[in-house]
Structure 1
């Protein structure tokens, strides 16, 4: 699995990207957390959405990095049906079924979650949608698609990794918003066909976009490229919430080589984008 110049790439969908997204491409893909974004904020309650065939590293890398800073986010692993959820280790490229992660929380209608024992429902401040082999089936899961749309509308932060943006895009939550996805999927045109109203950015490690909603509320969308890019995007979120010093410290402790410039995307050229 998995700026302006990137939007003009050699790809059958490049013209669409140029027409719809090139104006925002350089601003969004190269965004940096400003001083006003680095003040201390309350921890996010983040629903990590699991489904059969999610890509293991899509969840594990951001989960490790975000889990290292509980002052930034508290992670709740949730699924339509709680319990062990089998992951994928690059099955689409000849890999194997991966280990299962336990979803301790249940997705509920209206964009809420509750613990598996049926505790008090609550709406998470943030949602995290991974990609993986299972995306190809989940795009037809009306319950999950509806849940994502409703949860994204209420959330302060929406994070996707790899083809998680393809899945979220089907819900309409990314309509009119610059976003990126797995490079092989973009090369094959799957996200573009499934969600044509998204401003797909073909060359970006990750893309950040703040959407202003009614009442002055905003939702921060962070969509990353394939698999390992989710770690870089998670560190970008940490930088926004806690500052660059904290994000760099987390990366260093994890021995993670963080690509801090979201516009640097070596894999786009590899895939002919």
Structure 2
């Protein structure tokens, strides 16, 4: 049954210069297969073109002030996180929007931005294994689980590096819409679901 536009939830994906390409487009490929359930928007500090780590330019329609209400917020990682952890305006926005969202997600070193904002304090979380020590420094009050591919802490779900964001996204789809919806998305994407041995 087709859902009305008003019943769809809005997923906002935060972009910043030098975001990791697959951190964004892996999850978007999966979530984007559910247009009746999800309205996906891109948000950045400034509206316009944002360059990924690999140099591709992506047009972002919303800036931080104009972004609509976000039911779900996704924060990717990438080289740019090393700079953005010191961007107080962006970190404050992440903190505020996470408090208003039903669910906040991160991929890879995006967890560093959530940690810096205090969003992960008191929660279990994971991140990119190669950048693990640096990310942990951003969130000393977080219970970091290094071996996990993703960690569900209730209002936050974090994933390990890059490709792990796809598996996390499929897990989120199952949590929100059911296993059959997730399985159908994975089948259409010709993707073999990775079942994480560690799921909280």
State the TM-score, normalizing by the size of structure 1: 0.68
Are 1:75 and 2:65 counterparts? no
Are 1:84 and 2:56 counterparts? no
After superposition, residues 143-158 of structure 1 pair within 5 angstroms as 143-158=89-104
**Structure 2: gaps (5+ residues):** 1-6
Are 1:200 and 2:144 counterparts? yes
Q: CA deviation at 1:98?
A: 2.8
State the TM-score, normalizing by the size of structure 2: 0.92
Are 1:258 and 2:199 counterparts? no
Measure, in 1, the Cα distance between the counterparts of 2:187 and 2:96. Answer: 36
2:64 is aligned, of 107, 112, 115, to: 107
Measure, in 1, the Cα distance between the counterparts of 2:125 and 2:37. Answer: 23
Measure, in 2, the Cα distance between the counterparts of 1:179 and 1:230. Answer: 13
Greater relative contact order structure (CA < 8 Å, 6+ sep): 1
Measure, in 1, the Cα distance between the counterparts of 2:151 and 2:167. Answer: 11
CA contact (8 A) 1:61 1:228 kept: yes
2:164 is aligned, of 215, 222, 229, to: 229
3-state DSSP of counterpart to 2:56: strand
Please tell me the root mean square deviation across aligned C-alpha atoms, in Å.
Answer: 1.3
Q: CA deviation at 1:152?
A: 0.5
Measure, in 2, the Cα distance between the counterparts of 1:262 and 1:153. Answer: 29
Q: Which runs of 4+ in 1 moved over 4 A?
A: none
Residues 262, 162 of structure 1: alpha-carbon distance in 2 compared, 3 angstrom cutoff: farther
3-state DSSP of counterpart to 1:127: strand
Residues 226, 243 of structure 1: alpha-carbon distance in 2 compared, 3 angstrom cutoff: same
CA contact (8 A) 1:49 1:130 kept: yes
1:128 is aligned, of 44, 51, 74, to: 74
Flag the structure with larger Rg: 1
3-state DSSP of counterpart to 2:131: helix
